[in-house]
Amino acid sequence: MSDHSATPRTDGALAALARFCHRRRRLVLLAWIIGVAAVAFAGFGFGAPSDNDFSGGDSGSAKAQALIEKHFPDRQGDTLTLAVKAARGIDDPASRRRIEKVIAELDASPLTGPVTSPYRDATLVTPDRRIARMTIPLTDKEVEKSAVRPLVDTVKDASGDGVTLGLGGERAEKAETPPQGPSEGVGVLTAAVILFVSFGSLVAMGLPIVTALMAILGGIALMRLVGYLVPAPDFTVLVAAMIGLGVGIDYALFIVTRYREGLRDGDDPERATVRAITTAGHAVLFAGTTVVIAVLGLAVMGQRLMTGVAVAASVTVLVTMIAAVTLLPALLGFTGRRIDSLRLPRRASRSRSLDRRPPAERWAVAVQRRPLLAAVLAGAGLLVVAAPALSMRLSLPDASVQPHDRSSYTSYAILSEGFGPGYGAPLIFAARIGSADTDLRPVVEAVGRTGGIASVTPARTSRDGRAAMFMAFPETGSQDEATADLVHELRDDVLPRTPGGAGVQVGGPNAGGIDIAEEVGSRLPLMIAVVLALSLVLLVALVRSVTIALQAAVMNLLSIGAAYGVLVAVVQWGWLGSAFGFPTEMPITTWVPMMMFPLLFGLSMDYEVFLISRVREEYGRTGDTRAAVTAGLARTAKVITAAAAIMIAVFATSLLGSDVSVKQIGLGMAVAVLIDATVVRMILVPAVMELCGRANWWMPGRRAPKAAAVRTAEKVRA
């Protein structure tokens, strides 16, 4: 963490805030406890429910969905799909008794509507009578996943004696997905170990943990209340918890580090607190603001729920910032000089070394001796790692990418074997018609003749005679690239050339996922441009250098691109995918890359702020860029390394959970932070700044450093 001056201001707003929180620490702590308790009670008890409907907009699938909702009300509501595979056939007496018992139990549930037995409808059974399917309507559109879990257990328990049953559908899939489990707890424990090793004191370790946990509790609860104004999907809580825990602990870490430095320099506890907040706290506020602005860049995507994610994550980060500059000073007031109590036993220091320079400083000097070589090798390496990102495919996960012990995957596997992999992802065609006599048979026949279509259903006219719909089942699943190509062929070639087909819209979950992925791909460059522009303005304002701001932007793009490349290689290509807990190769979840970019860009700017602000301070003192870089790197390397290790640990623990999308974003962000804290900060920054020399500090309208200062710096260097 860096200062902005050797002597911190004692008359500014931050100094006054720090002094107040330190002196009135009991009042501040009580206010935080009461405030968090009240917000938690309201948020967790009466917060807005999650909204996972990504539909909407002007896409073909959105138009098809609007027609279906308006003219086919009987198709509203969620459904479950029961899949049955009998080795001896479903007509075997023992198999039939087992199957009919399950059907009766599902039919008797208050959550389900009538279940049509495959023994009454031959179209529900394969020709060899070994595989059958049943669609089970749910009576309550807002049924909780906990209520569906008993139905899943009933189906799983019924399997045996040559009969395999699986229950699929979105509600069944969510009901079977376990909670994220101990990942957040593991993240906190790992962060505590890193802090203990870094500080060597249990008291110093505990302050960032307590501050972050209280801020996260209040932030997530407040986020639930904000959900009434800006709805967000259910994964938002997990993402916000990861981000809040990471930045919350890191921000408190920087301030506590600065506080301990003040005590070692002879300051009393109050002055050390004021010094920490006016230096480290100032950078924390700037870094946190950068994260908030970057995350709010998601609103540019024009996706209603992504805007909700952006607002929710921003609220959590905002609360952690406030806690860092108000709650933490109060806690520091309670600890005083006992900040280093309960110390970690350390071995006696070795004899004085000939070279007392910190390792980070020696490393920086080594990089500066061959700056061009270091920059080329590091940049080329990151570009190679980023190369797989060029083949990134986006999709929304379905049952086919779930763990293979899940009932939803069993249902998918059975249906794929009996009716084709596209059965679980049908295309739904909908169109307005002039009257009930309008004939859509030419359209149905043209779709049925299209390569890649396994089967089609007859067209069905709505009761009001103003709309018609039919379904087509692809030969490939929703995660297959051929399915997306098929949707484009139908929309671009088949329907326009068929009489009556021009007004037919292609919808359904399959087409909807494709539309969302393409919308994300088309808007992602705009979001990147907006986030870059806003972040550059903020960084120029802080470091007062256009050159350094541009360097930071390019380096951040390289580290994020490398993270995308690793994500594609692991998740999409399957390289070490099983080792990271991914059941199979799969496309990247649609919202993951657009969520990763603003978050990572903001977090990368954190480390840029902490390093460059110290370099800027050293340069202002000496006028020597090389000395400023080495000194800045030496003074911030330890704390940035600890902060990055905490962030990596928090993100990596998401791999312990069960949600494949959250695992993806956790893996990608952990890789990005690792690259940013090593390759970027330790190689690219010193190498590029050495190459730029005095041009690092170029700012329109500002004079170059005075010659006297430069000459003095050169003498010092000599």
Give pLDDT, residue 489: 93
Which residue would you say has higher pLDDT here, 22 or 631? 22
- Cα angle 529, 535, 540 (rounded to 5 degrees) comes to 125
Give pLDDT, residue 702: 61
CATH assignment of 1-46+200-343?
1.20.1640.10
- Average pLDDT in the 527-549 region? 83
Tokens of 608: 């840029």
- Cα angle 181, 111, 155 (rounded to 5 degrees) comes to 60
Residue 600 has pLDDT above 50, yes or no: yes
Residues 283, 133: Cα–Cα separation, whole Å: 60
Q: Which of 81-95, 139-153, 683-697 is predicted with the least confidence, judged by mean pLDDT?
A: 139-153
What average pLDDT does the structure give for the chain? Answer: 85
Give pLDDT, residue 662: 86
Confidence class for position 545, pLDDT limits 50, 70, 90:
confident
Asked if 713 and 394 count as a contact pair (C-beta separation under 8 A), the reply is no
Residue 260 has pLDDT above 70, yes or no: yes
The 3-state secondary structure of 111-156, one letter per residue: CECCCCCCCCCHHHECCCCCEEEEEEEECCCCCCHHHHHHHHHHHH
% of the chain at pLDDT higher than 90: 33
Residue 560 has pLDDT above 60, yes or no: yes
Confidence class for position 344, pLDDT limits 50, 70, 90:
low
Asked if 559 and 679 count as a contact pair (C-beta separation under 8 A), the reply is yes
Give pLDDT, residue 6: 40
pLDDT digits (tens, 9 = 90+) for 224-249: 899 888 888 877 887 888 888 888 88
Highest-confidence range of 48-62, 96-110, 342-356, by mean pLDDT? 96-110
Which residue would you say has higher pLDDT here, 213 or 539? 213
The HSE-up count of residue 580 (CA atoms within 13 Å, CB side) is: 30
3 state SS of 452: coil
Dihedrals phi, psi of 79, to nearest 5 degrees: -135, 160
Which residue would you say has higher pLDDT here, 144 or 36? 36
Give pLDDT, residue 56: 57
Residues 430, 471: Cα–Cα separation, whole Å: 9
- Average pLDDT in the 501-525 region? 85
Give pLDDT, residue 640: 84
Nearest-CA neighbor of 195 among 364, 340, 25?
Answer: 340
Give pLDDT, residue 712: 45
Residue 590 has pLDDT above 70, yes or no: yes
Structure letter (DSSP) for residue 342: S
Pairing of strands 588-589, 394-395: parallel
Backbone φ/ψ region at 472: left (φ over 0), alpha (ψ -120 to 50), beta: beta
Give pLDDT, residue 222: 93
Residue 449 has pLDDT above 70, yes or no: yes
Confidence class for position 183, pLDDT limits 50, 70, 90:
low
Residue 137 has pLDDT above 90, yes or no: no
pLDDT digits (tens, 9 = 90+) for 469-487: 998 999 998 888 899 999 9
Residue 379 has pLDDT above 90, yes or no: yes
Structure letter (DSSP) for residue 500: T
Residues 6+ apart with CB under 8 A from 343: 200, 201, 202
- Average pLDDT in the 602-630 region? 78
Fold equal for 79-168 and 357-400+520-718: no
Confidence class for position 277, pLDDT limits 50, 70, 90:
very high
% of the chain at pLDDT higher than 70: 91
Dihedral angle sign, alpha carbons of residues 676, 681, 683, 689: positive
pLDDT digits (tens, 9 = 90+) for 279-329: 888 888 888 888 888 888 888 877 777 788 888 889 999 999 999 999 999
- Average pLDDT in the 545-569 region? 91
Residue 347 has pLDDT above 70, yes or no: no
Confidence class for position 35, pLDDT limits 50, 70, 90:
very high
Give pLDDT, residue 345: 61
Residues 561, 650: Cα–Cα separation, whole Å: 21
Residue 333 has pLDDT above 90, yes or no: yes
Give pLDDT, residue 509: 82
3 state SS of 429: strand
Give pLDDT, residue 351: 42
Residue 568 has pLDDT above 80, yes or no: yes
Residue 115 has pLDDT above 80, yes or no: yes
Confidence class for position 591, pLDDT limits 50, 70, 90:
confident
Give pLDDT, residue 575: 94
Asked if 437 and 428 count as a contact pair (C-beta separation under 8 A), the reply is no
Give pLDDT, residue 613: 73
Give pLDDT, residue 716: 43
Give pLDDT, residue 377: 96
- Average pLDDT in the 326-347 region? 83
Q: Which of 52-56, 82-86, 628-632 is predicted with the least confidence, judged by mean pLDDT?
A: 52-56
Confidence class for position 270, pLDDT limits 50, 70, 90:
very high
Architecture of domain 427-507: 2-Layer Sandwich (3.30)
| Alpha carbon distances (Å) from 530 to 176, 285, 376 | 39, 21, 28
Fold classification of 79-168 is: Alpha-Beta Plaits (3.30.70)
Residue 628 has pLDDT above 90, yes or no: no
Give pLDDT, residue 614: 75
Residue 145 has pLDDT above 80, yes or no: no
Q: Domain residues of the chain, as ranges? A: 1-46+200-343, 79-168, 357-400+520-718, 427-507
Fold classification of 357-400+520-718 is: Multidrug efflux transporter AcrB transmembrane fold (1.20.1640)
Give pLDDT, residue 718: 41
Tokens of 389: 């990102």
Which residue would you say has higher pLDDT here, 445 or 10? 445
Pairing of strands 131-137, 79-86: antiparallel
